[in-house]
Structures are given as structure tokens and as C-alpha cells.
Amino acid sequence: MKKARSKAVLRIAAGVLVVAACALGILRGRQTRAKADIPTAQAKRGEFLVTVHCRGNLVATESIQLSAPVDVQDLQIVWLAPNGSEVKAGQVVVRFDPSRSEQELREKKVALAQAQASLDQAVADARITSDQDELDLASAELDRDKARLEASKKSIVSAMEGEKSAIDLGLAEQKVKLQQATMQLHKASADAKIASQERLRDAAKAEYDRAERRLAQLNLVSPHDGVVEYRTNRTAGWTNAQPFKVGDHVSAGVTIAELSELSSLEMESKVDEVDRGRIAAGDDVVVHVDAFPEKNFPGKMASISPLTEQDFVEWPPTRTFRAFSVLNQREPGLRPGMNGSADIIQSRLADAIHIPLKALFTDRGQAVVYLKASDGYKREPVRLLARNSDEVAVSGLKTGDTVALTNPELNR
């Protein structure tokens, strides 16, 4: 019996030892995995920029609006340049249906040709009448000269023949005067008719030119290089509002698109009221665009709004200033409306150790980091030199030191 009890006790003890070993292995495995799962970063040495970080978006300070012609009704879009595409100066951005305007131009061209033909006919008729009047006048003057010659013979002819010659001379002179008056009447009539036909021709020419201009206005052309962005078409109601597209009918004078000049792109950002006194126009800026996370765009702060603006999105409302930063270089893919941020450089530390802000912790008012060692992480006090929105400059670390981004003591 005693031997049996001893064997049972040994078996129980062995089982307890196995369970304890398994539990210890599981605990150590969890600790190892916890240490392995801790995110880390390395301390880097280099220039550290003390900045004021502010969010914003790209805006174009120079842009023009492309509107439908004001003297053409019931326009329909038949072609559009892609929304957000870059266009060159002189390139067509919007085309409207030209069929009605082309038909009108053909009709006005025919009317102009008819008016010109009528004017040409009036000029030709006036020339024919003038030539005939000149011939008739020449004939009358010749008859007058003959009558004058006969009248000059009255001293050598009988009195009766002399009297007859004098009468013939008077009639010839009256005929010349009558022909001259007729010529003036014909000329005045012809001039009036020609002037009337010229007015009709000019009116037809004006209508033709107007139709030609209307047809030319059906192509909206970019006056300079830029990016096209279409306005919202609300003719179908606010619930169905969407940017203008092919097939839409457009009223006269409606603004269809806005053409932004890429060379005028600036980062418009909001600066908190507490940071306003730390920055000034002319400060260096590093612009970050969300669409290009791997690139930094250096620039200069051009201006700051003199007055604050209240933002009621959050409560209590916040007060901010608008700051505009000019980029030193242009990226082909940059477009107005892209979100991003501006780091306005307040000062520079030429040679400093910097780590992510997430690696800095506080222990009883002392700034500390968790420095990776061979047996885990140890708490290491550091001195804070400068702080940014995502990085801090510290002393007390060496280049390449690995620090934890989360508190490893919470994972035990």
C-alpha cells in the first residue's frame, strides 16, 4: 500500500512539474512575442527643423472662368477635355453642337451674296445710265454748237433765216441744260439706290460676321496653360447636381469651367492663433502633398491673413489665420484642391539627434525613452531640445540607438 501511494504521489508531482514547465514556456513565449511585436525606430543625426505644422490644400491664385457665349441660345456640349487635365494655350477645352450655327452661317452667306449682287447690279445700272447721259449730253452740246454756228451767219443771210437760226440755238441750249439736269437727277437717284443697297449689303455682312463669331464661340479655347476643372451643373436640381458633361444643355453666359494656372499654385493652410506670433512672411516652408507622400516641396511663406477666421466645425469654435506658401519648384502632377500640409520653419538645429515623437515618454516629469538592449528595453532619461508635430530633438542618445515607439512595460 505504501509503495502504491508513493508511486501515485510521484506521478502527481511529475504532472505538476510538466504543467509548470508548460506554463513557464508559454509565459516566456508570450514575453518574447510581446518584445518582438513592439514597434521601434532608430535615432538619427542631422539637421532638425523646428516647425509650425498646419494643414491645408493647394489653391491657384490665378485662374479664369470659361463661360458659354452670351448671344447663342440652347447650347449643347458635344466634347469636353478631361476634368482635371492639363491644357495648353490655344487648346480647345469645350465644344458645343455647331449644326444650328453652321446652318445659320450658310443662310447668312447666301443673303450676303444676294445683297452684294444687288449692289453690284445697282452700280452697273448707274454706270450704264451715266454713260448714256454723257452720250446724250455730248450730242446735245454738238447740236448746240451747230446751232450757234448757224446763228452766227445771220448777218449774211436773210432776216427770216437769221431769226430761225436764233430760235434753233435757243432750243439747243435749253436741250443741253435739260440733259444736264437729267444727268444730275439720274446721278442722285443712282447714288441713293447704291447707298440703299450698300446699307443692305452692310447689314447682311454684319449678320454674316455675327453668325461667324457665334460659330467660332462654340469652341471655348484656353488662353494660357493650366488645369481645367468643371463647374457643377444644377439645371436638373440640387439633388442631381454634377459637373458639366457631354450632352448637357447650357444657357447663354453660364460658367462651365475654371482654368487654373499651375505656375500660381500655393499651399493655403490654417495657422492656429497660438502659433501666429512664431511665424512671418518670408519664412522657409516645407510643403507636403498627400498625393505625393515621398516628396517634399520647399518654398517660402508669401503672406498671412491679417484677421482671424472662426471655425465652427469644432466646439468651442477655433480661431485660425490663413497662410499662403509659394512652392520653389513645380511638380507636373500637382493640382488645385489637393490636400496637404505646410511645415513653416521657425528655427534650425544644425546637428541634432532626433527620434519620432511616439518614442518619447514621461516618467515623474522626466523625459525618457525605452532603449533597446540585449535583454530587453531599459528606461533611459533624455533631455528634450526641440519638438515638432511628429519628431523631437533630444540629447542623451547616440546615432543608431533603437528606441521603442510604445511603452514595453505595458506589454509585460
Using one digit for the tens of pLDDT, what is the confidence trace for 328-358?
887 778 888 899 999 999 888 988 999 999 9
- 222-271: per-residue pLDDT in tens? 988 888 999 998 877 777 788 999 999 998 889 999 998 888 899 999 99
Rounded Cα distance, 16 and 26, in Å: 15
pTM of the model: 0.60
Q: Tell me, what's the pLDDT at 197?
A: 94
C-alpha span between 260 and 338 (Å, rounded): 13
Tell the residue number behind the cell numbers 440733259, with chain if given. Answer: 179
> Binning pLDDT at 50, 70 and 90, where does residue 25 land?
low
Residue extent(s) of CATH 2.40.30.170 domains in the chain: 37-59+262-411
Does the structure show a pLDDT above 50 at 33? no
How far apart are the C-alpha atoms of 278 and 295, rounded to whole Å? 26
pLDDT-wise least confident of 7-16, 286-295, 351-360: 7-16
Distance of CA 312 to the CA centre of its chain: 29
Tell me if the domain spanning 100-216 has CATH number 3.20.20.80: no
Question: With contact defined as beta carbons under 8 Å apart, do 40 and 255 qualify?
Answer: no
Q: What is the pLDDT of residues 294-313, one digit of tens each?
A: 899 999 999 999 888 877 66
Spell out the residues 6+ positions from residue 215 whose beta carbon is closer than 8 angstroms to its own. Answer: 98, 101, 102, 105
What is residue 323's predicted lDDT score, i.e. its pLDDT? Answer: 94
Confidence of residue 32 (pLDDT cuts 50, 70, 90): very low
The cell 506589454 sits on which residue? 411
- Return d(Cα 329, Cα 286) in angstroms, integer: 12
pLDDT of residue 10: 58
Phi, psi for residue 333 in degrees, rounded to 5: -85, -5
Q: Which residues contact 69 (CB under 8 A, 6 or more apart)?
A: 75, 214, 217, 218, 252, 253
Give how far Cα 351 sits from Cα of 129, 304, 314, 394, Å: 103, 30, 39, 11
pLDDT tens string 180-210: 898 899 999 999 999 999 999 999 999 999 9
| CATH 2.40.50.100 domain residues, the chain | 63-96+221-260
* Mean pLDDT of all residues belonging to the chain: 85
Where in the chain do CATH 1.10.287.620 domains reside?
A: 100-216
Residue 164: band (very low, low, confident or very high) from pLDDT cuts 50, 70, 90: confident
Residue 346: the pLDDT is: 87
- Could you give the CA distance from residue 142 to residue 162 in angstroms, rounded to a whole number? 20
Instruction: Please give the Cα distance from 277 to 319 (Å, whole number).
Output: 14
Q: pLDDT digits over 92-145, tens only? A: 999 999 998 899 999 999 999 999 999 999 999 999 999 998 998 898 888 888
Phi, psi at residue 334, to the nearest 5°? Answer: -70, 140
Which CATH number describes the domain made up of 37-59+262-411? 2.40.30.170
**Half-sphere CA count of 242, side-chain side, radius 13 A:** 6
- In CATH, what class is 63-96+221-260? mainly beta
